[in-house]
A and B are shown apart, each in its own frame.
Chain A
């Protein structure tokens, strides 16, 4: 059963790792991915913040379905997905994915799978704010679709 949260507040990576391993000795490895707001500077303007919009209700369902798909493919001993929403500034955490397994390959592959599918199958939208005051909705990338399709 995956631990899934959609929240405005930041997450504490150490606390999430501790919660995943508390009271158990069967976990051999944990894969971890942290996504951050990157100042992806374009000509003349840099990204100062981004606002993440989502579809309450569907978001949690979609992430749960992605986690279930991961649990069918790998023998996971734990799975955590925390995705932030609202306005975030450059350098802020956006998303945390943890996948625990007996061995590293399952943990690392499941982590990559979870973030690849999250990027293309969970209803979140990013709006970037630039230093010159302008803003734009981030467009979906074909590379994200092909990354999700490789699984």
Chain B
């Protein structure tokens, strides 16, 4: 049994999914951020709403911005959020 990944959601992704954090065993065949997004989007209506427009979702893997092709490993911290609006 490999280590699960930690999923974090921020801003309206958190609101639509209904949680800020969850743990997930990396599913078979999910080796990249893009594959994880496809997997999550099929999990339920909240997830589908959160990932509806992929262009408005950003990702960080282990607290560094990651693109859709970024590889995933067991134990990774993967965060999804909208484009940032600080400052």
A35 to B87, CA, bound (A): 7
Interface pair A124/B85, CB less than 8 Å apart: yes
Contact of B10 among A55, A115, A119 (CB under 8 A): A55
Instruction: Specify which chain A residues have a CB less than 8 angstroms from the CB of B60 in the assembled complex.
Output: 55, 58, 123
| Chain A residues, CB < 8 A from B81 | 55, 123, 125
Query: Taking CB as reference atom, which chain B residue is nearest A136?
Result: B12
Q: For residue B10, which residues in chain A have a CB less than 8 angstroms away from its CB?
A: 53, 55, 123, 125
Q: How many A-B contacts if CB must be within 8 Å?
A: 70
Q: B82 interface residue, CB < 8 Å from A? A: yes
Whether, in the assembled complex, B33 has its beta carbon less than 8 Å from a beta carbon of chain A, the answer is no
By a beta-carbon cutoff of 8 Å, the part of chain B in contact with chain A is 8, 10-12, 60, 63-65, 79, 81-87
A-B pairs, 8 with minimum CB distance: A124-B86, A140-B83, A119-B87, A58-B63, A125-B11, A138-B85, A126-B85, A118-B87
